[in-house]
């Protein structure tokens, strides 16, 4: 009961969510832990609470800058003050201050590329680290859908830090990926906590169409009838913008979101969605992280996602409040074509690999000149330091095959006659123990649990700048 008391006194929660207690107990016993917890299950609590009991700092390696910023913001929101984020955007004067007091921080967030800088390594060696957390640990797997080469560098620092205790966290991992996490983080006999992938309150639907026009027609009608909030995932930025425009034009409160937008605009869309000022967001897969909305009722995939892992992560953003939520996958004849190009887009091309190998000294120039994409360069650079040209070409070919396999799994998802829930669990090497009544399109869906849209009273829009100011700062 001690842990519950601490949970309440520190964060004001009266009970743990599934999996948290099991993981925390193992961490406190001093074991290495790999925890597979679905998105939205409070993964970060697994290191937050131990941080209050462990003597040294907790070092959290976070693969994405935006994710790191969000986690820091969330911790601060929960009242944690002893938090620092180390990334390449730090200013020199701030860095100095941080280094001199580094050991005093309870939570130290760091990006993989900072982790391996000689100076940073030295600083980390100086302090006492009780726990190393590898967040989004599936990024370590080159077979995974979200491989980040820099992430493998965590392995480089382990010996320097005297092999600290490790907690690897991820929301999606097949057993293949789990094995890779073990291997690269050099953790033997970890305690592995696997929470069932399956979320009982998610209902899986698939809709097939003749062509794109029919698809968009259905979407407009659907969102007009259904109560949000919801996310519509599109394959490209352009498509996301276009869908948002289509929905706005039919009188719905919708907006788009993608990585190419102005940073402030992205925050605005997130906040509008969070505050219920916006019912629908049409977006690329960039949307989701840092969105903490419990009551998302619909996730619609307008185009096929590129992997089952990605799909599960995206639909997992719906229904975090535990109430029924609908995941609808739209498919039209010919969508495979786009899927193929999206899948291949994620990998470096043969031409890019050759260019980088031919210009060993200044590969960044190739990015500037638009010859090689930045994402491609990151992957090539990693292999370049380990393999000759032929080896890398082979490696990428292998990856390509793997990606195609992943894409095939998605294709299968839209064509199978059997239970989709069961199929998804199998993709993660899990056995489905029991099915909910409202399960999937192939087992029959009871749509009546999803509310019809209630036309809201039109919000009064301020007419002048003074009115707007009054709304912001009411007298």
Instruction: Check: CB of residue 259 under 8 Å from CB of residue 237.
Output: yes
Of 267 and 358, nearer to another protein (C-beta) is 267
Written as six digits, the tokens of 45 are: 């609590």
Instruction: Quote the least distance from Cβ 100 to another protein, whole Å.
Output: 17
Of 71 and 392, nearer to another protein (C-beta) is 71
| Beta-carbon contacts of residue 288 (< 8 Å; ≥ 6 apart) | 231, 313, 314, 317
Q: What is the binding site for another protein (CB under 8 A)?
A: 69, 73, 77, 85, 91, 94, 248, 255-256, 261-262, 264-265, 267-269, 271-272, 274-275, 277, 461-462, 464-466, 468-469, 471-475
The DSSP result for 100-138, as a single string, is HHGGG-SEEEE-HHHHTSHHHHHHHHHS-EEEEEETTGG
Of 277 and 408, nearer to another protein (C-beta) is 277
- DSSP designation for 451: P
Please state, in angstroms and rounded to a whole number, the distance separating the CA atoms of residues 108 and 102.
Answer: 8
Q: What angle do CA 294, 300, 305 make, to 5 degrees?
A: 110
Of 83 and 181, nearer to another protein (C-beta) is 83
Please state, in angstroms and rounded to a whole number, the distance separating the CA atoms of residues 138 and 276.
Answer: 32
The DSSP result for 326-337, as a single string, is EEEEEEETTHHH
Of 31 and 272, nearer to another protein (C-beta) is 272
Instruction: Quote the least distance from Cβ 43 to another protein, whole Å.
Output: 19
Instruction: Quote the least distance from Cβ 70 to another protein, whole Å.
Output: 9
Residue 229: is the preceding peptide bond cis (ω within 30°)? Answer: yes
Instruction: Quote the least distance from Cβ 265 to another protein, whole Å.
Output: 4
Measured in degrees and rounded to the nearest 5, phi and psi for residue 381 equal -60, -35
Instruction: Quote the least distance from Cβ 336 to another protein, whole Å.
Output: 29
Instruction: Quote the least distance from Cβ 226 to another protein, whole Å.
Output: 23
CA–CA distances in Å: residue 267 to residues 271, 300, 357: 6, 22, 39
Of 77 and 360, nearer to another protein (C-beta) is 77
Instruction: Quote the least distance from Cβ 273 to another protein, whole Å.
Output: 9
Instruction: Quote the least distance from Cβ 272 to another protein, whole Å.
Output: 4
Of 170 and 270, nearer to another protein (C-beta) is 270
Of 431 and 466, nearer to another protein (C-beta) is 466
- Summary count for the chain: helices (H), strands (E): 20, 13
């Amino acid at each position: 009961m001690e842990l519950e008391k601490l949970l309440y006194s520190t964060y004001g929660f009266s009970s743990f969510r599934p999996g948290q207690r099991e993981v925390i107990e193992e961490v406190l016993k001093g074991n290495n832990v790999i925890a597979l917890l679905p998105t939205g299950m409070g993964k970060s609590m697994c290191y937050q609470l131990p941080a209050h009991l462990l003597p040294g700092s907790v070092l959290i390696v976070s693969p994405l800058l935006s994710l790191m910023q969000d986690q820091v913001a969330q911790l601060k929101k929960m009242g944690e003050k002893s938090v620092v984020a180390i990334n390449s955007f730090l200013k020199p004067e701030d860095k100095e201050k941080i280094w001199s007091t580094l050991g005093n921080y309870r939570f130290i967030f760091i990006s993989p590329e900072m982790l391996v800088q000689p100076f940073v390594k030295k600083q980390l060696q100086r302090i006492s680290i009780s726990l190393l957390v590898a967040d989004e640990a599936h990024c370590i797997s080159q077979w995974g859908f979200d491989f980040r080469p820099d992430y493998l560098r965590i392995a480089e620092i382990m010996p320097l830090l005297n092999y600290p205790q490790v907690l690897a966290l991820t929301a999606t991992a097949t057993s293949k990926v789990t094995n890779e996490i073990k291997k690269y983080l050099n953790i033997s006999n970890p305690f592995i906590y696997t929470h069932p992938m399956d979320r009982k309150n998610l209902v899986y639907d698939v809709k097939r169409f003749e062509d794109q026009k029919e698809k968009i027609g259905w979407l407009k009608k659907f969102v007009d009838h259904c109560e949000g909030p919801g996310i519509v995932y599109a394959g490209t930025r352009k498509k996301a913008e276009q869908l948002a425009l289509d929905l706005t034009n039919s009188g719905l409160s919708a907006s788009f979101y993608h990585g190419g937008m102005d940073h402030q605009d992205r925050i605005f869309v997130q906040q509008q969605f969070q505050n219920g000022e916006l019912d629908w967001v049409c977006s690329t897969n960039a949307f989701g992280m840092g969105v903490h909305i419990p009551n998302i009722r619909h996730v619609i995939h307008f185009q096929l996602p590129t992997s089952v892992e990605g799909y599960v992560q995206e639909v997992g953003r719906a229904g975090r409040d535990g109430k029924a939520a609908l995941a609808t996958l739209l498919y039209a004849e010919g969508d495979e074509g786009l899927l193929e190009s999206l899948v291949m887009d994620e990998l470096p091309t043969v031409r890019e690999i050759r260019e980088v190998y031919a210009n060993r000294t200044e590969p960044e120039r190739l990015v500037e000149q638009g010859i090689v994409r930045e994402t491609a360069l990151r992957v090539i650079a990693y292999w370049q330091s380990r393999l000759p040209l032929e080896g890398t070409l082979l490696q990428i070919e292998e990856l390509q095959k793997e990606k195609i396999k992943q894409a095939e799994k998605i294709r299968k998802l839209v064509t199978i006659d059997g239970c989709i829930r069961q199929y998804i669990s199998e993709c993660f090497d899990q056995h489905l123990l029991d099915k909910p009544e409202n399960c999937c399109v192939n087992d029959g869906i009871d749509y009546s649990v999803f509310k019809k849209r209630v036309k809201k009273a039109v919000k009064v829009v301020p007419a002048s700048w003074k009115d707007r100011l009054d709304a912001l700062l009411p007298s």
